[in-house]
Every structure is written in structure tokens, then in C-alpha cells.
A and B are shown apart, each in its own frame.
Chain A
Amino acid sequence: MRHDFGRELVGSIADELREALRQLISHASSGATDIRISPLTRTSTGLSRENWVFDLDWSVKGVSARLPLILRRDPPGSLLQTDRVHELGVLNALAQSRLPVPRVRWSDIEGKWLGSPSLVMDIVEGDCDWHVLNGPRPLGERMVFARDFLSILIEIQNVDWKHLGLGSLLGVPRISPAVTALDQWEAERARVQRESLPELDLAGRWLRKHARVARKLTLVHGDFKPGNMLIDGRRVSAVLDWETAHIGDPLEDLGWITNPVRAAEHQIPDHWETAHIVEAYRAMTGYDFDDNELKWWNVFSCWKLAIIVITGLAEGIDGRFNRIYHSPAWLFRRLLKMMES
């Protein structure tokens, strides 16, 4: 059962999904009875996955209960081709950590029930606020969030990934994580590129030439940003979207949040800019590195983001993604200028 987004207004699709969910839950929960699924509502967050929220009413051992849940399902087209097995494994592993991650209730990795790889998770209280750091909240409150985000990033890097079995699940880079990341995203680029892009070739050449060896390996989120967190009042209630998590260089996520093209999301002008973030990171971790190491990951972040954009562009051209993407000229300019500086 694969549906394009353009057809999702048709009520029967949501009804089909409801019935498929009911069957999945019934199959996976032998003691459950009276399973009822509320109408599904598609949320607007998440461009690489379909997110549907619903309530489950059921009885387990004679006790009735209601669970607010979210279904995350792979769409026909996406910004990212990611592995749902990895995301499930990471979420299950991190359930043992102190990190706030949603609980996975059921999974349909092969899409046997729901038509494409899917996870059913508890809904966590909170809202997604992409621009919480530059929104209407008072500066003091925004600064607390900024520091909390950095603390969470460091908490991710402190996860004992070996103990949690994440090395065998995600793979450990045998060479430099920088080169591994380059190889991985070059492969993605080869899959999606529809025209010559000398900008990315030039940046790729620069990245290969300047790639460094990592000083240590940590868990990397891969897309750490306010838009992938839920905020409940004044606290972060969940870190979401672990589909690109991997083992790599801790500077990768730091480079992602200090990437100048994403400053509107990650930084507060004059108060929480790259220099402040780096200073706080060094103070909180004791981890030292030179500025060029971080710059490499800034350039990489920009280059990777351009590849993500051309993935959306290609999926749109192929009719699998319902947004119109353009060549990321705005990113090329910043990318090439960063290499110049």
C-alpha cells in the first residue's frame, strides 16, 4: 500500500491506514482486545517521513486504556534515503540512556502491514519550534534553550555506544569518519544528481584534500537542530529524527550547528554565535580542537545540505515528492566562499 501525498485527501487512504494499524497492533499484541484506532491526522512536520497522529483505545488484560501515538511511515519520495532498521535500533538503544527519546511501541520494518517501513511511537508532550532561539520568547529564556541544546548534543556524544551495541548496528568507520562521511554522501549524490554540478565537485575536492583524522569516535545525531526537538514549556521533552545517526567525529554535529547557513536556527545574534558555542562546548567537554577542524565540518555540512536539496529536487522531478526544489545556488555561494576564507 503506497500512496502519494497528492491522494492523501481521499478519506479511504486514512481509513486503510487505520485498518492496517489495527491489524499490526492486533498481531503484535496477543493479549490486547477491543482495539480501536481514532481517525488519523497527518502532521506537517517531517519532510522525509509521513507522520500521522492518532489515539489507540484498547484493553489489555481487562484494563482499558488510551494511548496517544504517532505513526512514522516512509513516503514514496523523500529528502533522505535512510534505513528504518537503524532508526529503530538507535531508539531502542537510547531508551536505556538518559536522552529524551520517544518510545517505540511497534515497528513494521518491511512494510508488511503499512505498505512501507514504519514505526509506531508514543507521542511525547511538546511542540516543534524551529525558531525557538530567534522567536518571541525573552532573550534569557532563549539562552537557556541554547545552552540546553548544546548540553543535549554533548549528552549524545557521551553515550556509551559500544555498551549499547550501536557499533555493530551502525558500523564503525574503519578509516577517518570524515572520509567515510564523504564517501557516503558522494554515493548519495551519484544516485540523485541530474545535471553537472562543478560547485559540488570543487567542494568535494577541497574536502578530500583537507579531511582530518578524528581524535575520538562518538554517536553523531546527523541532523541536530531545534526542528528535531520537542519543547514542552521550558524544557526539551524529546530529541527526534534519529534516522541519520551514526558513529563518527564529535565535530560533525558541532559543525552542523555552527554552519553559517543554518545560523537562524542555531544561533542568537550577538549572544550565541559560533564563537560562543565553541567556547561553551570546549568548557563543557574539555575537548580541544583547532578552528580548521571545525571549519572542515562547516564546509562539509553545507556540501551535505546541498546534496540533500538535490535529493529533494530529483525526487520531485521523478514525481515522488510533492515539493518543488531548485538548484541550491544560495548554498553553493556560501559553500564556495567558506572554502575561500
Chain B
Amino acid sequence: MRPSVREQLDQSARLLESVVAPAVSDRMPHIILDGVIDNLKLLSDALPQIPAFLAWDNAAMRGLLADFGRVSAESRAGSDARGEPDSGSDLAEDPKAEDQNEALRQRLADLVCSVDVDDERLAPIRRHLIERASRFPLRAIPSTPGGNADKAS
């Protein structure tokens, strides 16, 4: 399918950057426009990585939850049974994988909130969440002050 989603994102960013931005003179709209362009570029880079990321995260969470007896062996193998998403796919987001990811993360959240689980036993979950944060495809690191995330007021 041409132009691919990624090609369309790249073109959109290029047009905004080279055609629209020079014509925007007001500072605030320009800052916001820069943010939109950055976001399109981030999406272009991240989109192809999302299926593989979700597959990895879902499998890892199933394993962690199984260690706590929170998922059955059958569910643990669930991701494998469904097969790995095509990481080269242009249509990057798999709604099923994303729904599963949210469901599994909710169960993980319930688990870490359980008072009957010792802190020491949560160490593998903490390690997974650190690893997940490192791999997260839509990982925008802000620059202050106009960038994503840094301003508290």
C-alpha cells in the first residue's frame, strides 16, 4: 500500500516543517507546530516497532503473572499460540495485542497493590517494568520548557 503509513507520516512532517512552519510567525503556535512535527517523526519511527514490543511485553507479563499463579499455563502460552505479529507490517497496531496488553498490565497493577505479596517477590516485576520503559517505542524524552512533559506550571 503506497504511500505507506510511514511514508505518509514522513511526508506530513516534511510539509509542515518546510512549507507551513516558515509561514507561522507567532511564537506559541510555532512551538505547538514544532511539537506536532516532532510527534509525527516519533510515530514514523515507533509505529513499526509496536507489534513486536507488544508481543514481547505480553509474553513477559504472562510469565510474571504465572509465577504468582495469576494466569494459567494455557494463558501463559497464549501469545505464542497467536503467533508473533509481523514486525514489518505497515499497519502497526494490533487491537487484540493492545487490549491484551492493557488487561495484563491491569493484572500486574492489581498484583503489585496486593498486601499479601512480599516486596522481595516483586523485584522481577520491577526489573521487567524498567526493561519495558527502556524498550517503549513511543518514548519521547522532553526538552524543557516547550517540550513534552517537563512543565509543571
Q: Would B133 and A244 count as touching, CB distance under 8 A?
A: no
Name A296-316 residues within 8 Å CB distance of B.
Answer: 305, 308-309, 312
Expressed in whole angstroms, the Cα–Cα distance for A201 and B106 within the complex equals: 10
Q: Would A241 and B153 count as touching, CB distance under 8 A?
A: yes
Name A23-76 residues within 8 Å CB distance of B.
Answer: 42, 44-49
Enumerate chain A residues within 8 angstroms of B116, measured Cβ to Cβ: none
Name B19-74 residues within 8 Å CB distance of A.
Answer: 26-29, 31-32, 35-36, 39, 42
Q: Would A130 and B126 count as touching, CB distance under 8 A?
A: no
Residue of A nearest to B135 (CB): A329
Q: Does B152 contact A (CB under 8 A)?
A: yes
Q: Would A202 and B32 count as touching, CB distance under 8 A?
A: no
- Total cross-chain contacts (CB, 8 A): 122
Expressed in whole angstroms, the Cα–Cα distance for A329 and B134 within the complex equals: 7
Interface residue count for A (Cβ, 8 Å)? 52
Q: Does B129 contact A (CB under 8 A)?
A: yes
Instruction: Tell which of A166-174, A191-199, A278-286 binds the partner.
Output: A191-199
Main secondary structure of the interface of B (DSSP, over half): helix
Residue of B nearest to A305 (CB): B152
Q: Would A201 and B112 count as touching, CB distance under 8 A?
A: yes
Expressed in whole angstroms, the Cα–Cα distance for A122 and B133 within the complex equals: 44
Q: How far is the CB of B126 from chain A (nearest CB, A)?
A: 5
Expressed in whole angstroms, the Cα–Cα distance for A48 and B128 within the complex equals: 33
Q: Would A9 and B29 count as touching, CB distance under 8 A?
A: yes
Q: Would B119 and A209 count as touching, CB distance under 8 A?
A: yes
Q: Would A202 and B153 count as touching, CB distance under 8 A?
A: no
Q: A residues bordering B, Cβ < 8 Å?
A: 5, 8-9, 42, 44-49, 79-80, 130-131, 195-199, 201-202, 205-206, 209, 223, 227-228, 241, 243-244, 264-265, 305, 308-309, 312, 322-333, 336-337, 339-340
A–B pairs, 19, beta carbons within 8 Å: A44-B28, A47-B153, A49-B153, A80-B153, A130-B145, A195-B102, A196-B102, A196-B109, A198-B108, A198-B109, A198-B111, A206-B119, A227-B151, A305-B149, A326-B42, A329-B132, A329-B139, A333-B133, A340-B126
Given contacts A47-B145, A199-B129, A308-B152, 16 further A-B contacts (CB under 8 A): A5-B28, A8-B28, A48-B151, A195-B102, A197-B105, A198-B109, A205-B113, A227-B151, A243-B153, A312-B149, A323-B148, A324-B148, A326-B138, A329-B139, A330-B139, A336-B133
